[in-house]
């Protein structure tokens, strides 16, 4: 049976309920640790209902992934980054602020669900479709940051902007994710400061 596309309000609510339940369970117990019956139960619907909204478990995960990246992206942009992006950047301290704000925004955005984040990145392999999907989402970030750097390219200390974006984005993502995800002795603030220093010097200080 093909998955239903709900048009009525009730149907849309059910679909959302399933996605929310799935999101929570994936975050808590992982994709493999969660089964469709549980998702249905948590969503307050029958197993069969689950399958009338989704063909399989996987597409549910896809949607959750998409939703997650949308949330992160919205959060970063909403959090002043967009504003910065549109303001003129001239002075040295403007650059510093740019880096600072972006890192803080990303850090803030990662409150959303570090558990889900790890589950998503963990699943990047194992299924080519999942990889494809995640790469696409990541590329949006890469493109965004690339555009941002392009805007200030005359002041950049780096030459290979394409490669630089990769380095910068994945480094920042990883360091911040780990702060959110794990217990650690060093205060987050200290690590964020160092990360900021690293980014700033790399991008704007000629060595």
Check binding of 202 to a copy of itself (CB under 8 A).
yes
Could you tell me the two tokens for 24? Answer: 């929570």
Among 16, 35, 139, 153, interactor with DNA by CB under 7 A: 35
Q: Give the closest residue to 104 by CA, choosing from 126, 135, 78.
A: 78
Q: Residue holding tokens 């920042």?
A: 172
93 in contact with DNA (CB under 7 A): no
Q: Cβ 95 to a copy of itself, closest distance in Å?
A: 10
Check if the beta carbon of residue 168 is closer than 8 Å to that of residue 199: yes
Binder of residue 191, out of DNA, a copy of itself, none (CB less than 5 to 8 A by kind): a copy of itself
Does 135 bind a copy of itself (CB under 8 A)? Our answer is yes
User: Would you say 53 and 18 are in contact if contact means Cβ atoms under 8 Å apart?
Assistant: yes
Among 125, 136, 140, 151, binds a copy of itself (CB under 8 A): 125
Quick check: 201 binds a copy of itself (CB under 8 A)? yes
DSSP, residue by residue, 18-57? HHHHHHHHHHHHTTTT--HHHHHHHHTS-HHHHHHH-SSH
- Burial classification of residue 159, based on how many CB atoms lie within 10 Å of its CB (0-12 exposed, 13-18 middle, 19 or more buried): exposed
For a copy of itself, give the closer residue by CB, 74 or 197: 197
CB-nearer residue toward DNA: 26 or 200: 26
Contacts of 147 (CB under 8 A, 6+ apart): none
- How would you label 32-45 residue by residue, b for 16+ Cβ within 10 Å and e otherwise? eebebebbbebbeb
* Closer residue to a copy of itself in complex, CB, 18/130: 130
- Check binding of 136 to a copy of itself (CB under 8 A): no
Give contact residues for a copy of itself (rule: CB under 8 A). 1, 29-30, 32-33, 35, 37-38, 115, 118-119, 121-126, 131, 135, 157-158, 160, 162-164, 166-168, 170-171, 173-175, 178, 181-182, 184, 186, 190-191, 193-195, 197-198, 200-202, 204-205, 207
Give residues in contact with DNA (CB under 7 A): 1, 4, 6-8, 10-11, 13-14, 33-37, 44-53, 55-58
């Amino acid at each position: 049976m093909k998955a239903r596309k709900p048009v009525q309000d009730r149907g849309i609510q059910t679909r959302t309920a399933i996605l929310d339940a799935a999101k929570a369970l994936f975050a808590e117990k992982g994709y493999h640790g969660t089964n469709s019956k549980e998702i249905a139960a948590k969503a307050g619907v029958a197993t069969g209902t689950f399958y009338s909204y989704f063909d399989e478990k996987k597409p549910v995960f896809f949607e959750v992934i998409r939703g997650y990246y949308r949330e992160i992206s919205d959060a970063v942009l909403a959090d002043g980054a967009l504003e910065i992006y549109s303001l003129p950047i001239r002075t040295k301290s403007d650059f510093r602020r740019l880096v600072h704000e972006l890192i803080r925004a990303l850090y803030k955005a990662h409150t959303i669900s570090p558990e889900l984040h790890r589950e998503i990145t963990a699943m990047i392999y194992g299924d080519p479709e999942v990889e494809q999907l995640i790469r696409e989402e990541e590329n949006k970030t890469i493109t965004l940051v690339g555009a941002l750097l392009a805007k200030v390219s005359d002041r950049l200390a780096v030459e290979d902007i394409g490669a630089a974006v990769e380095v910068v984005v994945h480094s920042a993502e990883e360091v911040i994710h780990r702060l959110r995800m794990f217990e650690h002795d060093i205060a987050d603030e200290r690590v964020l400061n160092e990360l900021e220093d690293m980014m700033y010097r790399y991008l704007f200080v000629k060595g």
